[in-house]
Amino acid sequence: MAYDETLAGRVRAELIERDGYVEKKMFGGICYLLHGNMACGIVRDLLIVRVGPQKYGAALELPHAGVFDFTGRPMTGWVQVAPPGCAADAELRAWVARGVAYALSLPPK
């Protein structure tokens, strides 16, 4: 399953300078980790963002956000963002920041 390489490059540009940054191919897409904790990724043309259980409901209320249901079971704490929701650089940056905040709130692996 391919993923949007252009979106991947945009996300990479937001994260590559961060300490502990790693990217891995997962879910048939690509995931971005900080200190071993997943922050966000791309599956097909969707941005996926790990916001955590406490911010999950609020994140789902944002435009173009939806439940991330990759395996037939919703992944609580993760949202998927449709392409219009991260088309502008400021929107992408805000979504990536949400994932970064959650990943950095966890102990390093």
Tens of pLDDT along 36-80? 999 999 999 999 999 999 999 999 999 999 999 978 889 899 999
Dig out the tokens for 42 from the structure. Answer: 């791309």
User: How many other C-beta atoms are found inside a 10 Å radius of the C-beta of residue 69?
Assistant: 11
Confidence class for position 30, pLDDT limits 50, 70, 90: very high
What is residue 28's predicted lDDT score, i.e. its pLDDT? Answer: 84
Q: What class, spelled out in words, does domain 5-105 have in CATH?
A: alpha beta
pLDDT at 1 over 70: no
Which sequence spans correspond to the domains of the chain? 5-105
Tracing tokens 């191919």 back to the chain, one arrives at 25
pLDDT at position 70, please? 78
Contact assessment for residue 86 and residue 40, using Cβ atoms and an 8 Å cutoff: no
The average pLDDT across 85-93 equals 98
pLDDT one-digit tens code per residue, 32-48: 999 999 999 999 999 99
